[in-house]
Structure 1
Amino acid sequence: MQIFNCLIVDDEPIARDIIMNYCGHLPYLNVVASCGMALEAKTVMQQQKVDILFLDINMPVMDGISFLKTLKNPPQIIFTTAYKEYALDAFDLSACDYLLKPFSMERFMVAVDKAIEKLNPTPVIFQENTDPKTEDFIFIKTDGKIYKIRHDDLLYAEANGNYTKIKTVQNTLLPAMTFSNFEELVPKSMFLRVHRSFIINKSKIDHIEGNRVFINDTEIPIGSNYKELFMKQLGLS
């Protein structure tokens, strides 16, 4: 059985104890340390390998998001916080998952499973996902209906709180799903993140002007943190 090293960083002792207890129920998790401050965690990570980092956001001296930005090769990050407003920032930094306190053992296990999948992807699943016969559509549930949307009909998607605004050739849908969940549904080779709140179908781009991309006369901003990668994905840099 493969063992994954975990590090817990939270300024609340009770919160650290809860995560430690949850980890104790999963024999494949090994907690190497439990820290009350981000700077303590830095020292631990310099001394030993960490696979999964359970990271609080609102902490003294240095918050979790700022700490993550200092890591050159971060492990799988699972944010644990009482503040849902940090979710977009967390996923912008490629966090594996975002646990909103208080969270259950079941929700904790879902987050850990996501992290382990990224650390140790199954070759069979990878081959299935790259099969040239892979499906070219998704299903979206909203307003009591389930819509089948072909990738080629999808223009762009926009984050809208706990919803995602999906603009297609035919209509506009507003399903109760997070932006990150939508991003996981569509192929990354076809749908590009151009802003913290926008994903576009690159085949639908009319033109690009400055920090804006135009799709069917709709002007979509290109975020400064995304522009370089976006241009590379288009083969323009």
Structure 2
Amino acid sequence: LDLIEEFSNAMDAIKFLNKNSIDLIFLDIHMPGFSGFDFIQTLKDPPKIVLTTSDRNFAIEAYEYEVIVDYLVKPISEERFKKSIIKVKNTLERARPVISEGADSTEGTELYINIDRRLIKLKFDEIQLIEAKGDYIEIKTDTEMFRVHSPLKKIREKLPASLFLQVHRSFIINFSKIIDIEDNSVLIGKSVVPISRSNRPELMRRLNLL
């Protein structure tokens, strides 16, 4: 796990999470002016969450939220924390094959997107990457960029897995458009795309390495 940020102010955390893609957050239920559940509901696309609290009474409500992976009661022992991390990793790993494989049965070489009541044809081999931004996705091709009101999951299901790979919860890339890979990022055209740890093994598996 890599610690990206820490926040003591809920509004600062909300602003950060709505602009950045994070795989997991540890969230205290009790915050000044907010409950942890209120906090989750303000997020456009919440990541996986581990709740922390000194009160066991919230456990039933917590498990009504699909994004909540675990529930830690303070004081948290090292052993319990390690078990929680294993649980999180297993959850992310179970999700990875679905994300990576996409739609092997997709026929054809193109798809259509609806923009301002116009249907625009996009050829798969011209798409460089697709990025989720809140309720929208941005599709970058070799020549243009299109903004479409759609979840990333919907377009992922229409893409051929032989050509496309989700490398981050907010990014799908065209595998044939990769120029360079360095550490935890990949260069697609002129765009640097982050690679999440959970999706990196699939990316490396598909590379034709010397």
**Normalising to structure 1: TM-score of the pair?**
0.47
Residue 109 (structure 2) aligned to one of 136, 139, 156: 136
**Relative contact order (C-alpha < 8 Å, sep 6+): which is higher?**
2
Matched, 1:56 2:64: yes
Matched, 1:183 2:156: yes
What residue number does 2:199 align with?
226
Number of aligned residues: 132
Residue 95 (structure 2) aligned to one of 93, 96, 104: 93
**Identity score, percent:** 31
What residue number does 1:6 align with?
none
The SS at the match of 1:229 is helix
What residue number does 2:33 align with?
none
What residue number does 1:199 align with?
172
Matched, 1:65 2:73: no
What residue number does 1:164 align with?
137
The SS at the match of 1:93 is helix
What residue number does 2:181 align with?
208
What residue number does 2:128 align with?
155
Q: How far, CA to CA, are the matches of 1:210 and 1:138 in structure 2?
A: 32
TM-aligned CA distance change 1:172 to 1:72, over 3 Å? closer
- Consecutive unaligned residues of structure 1, counting only runs of 5 or more, are 1-35, 39-54, 75-88, 97-125
Q: How does 1:113-124 map to 2 (within 5 A)?
A: none
TM-aligned CA distance change 1:232 to 1:57, over 3 Å? same
Write out per-residue CA displacement over residues 183-212 of structure 1, whole angstroms, 9 at most, x where no aligned residue: 111011210011111000000111111111
**Normalising to structure 2: TM-score of the pair?**
0.53
The alpha carbon displacement at 1:166 in A equals 0.4
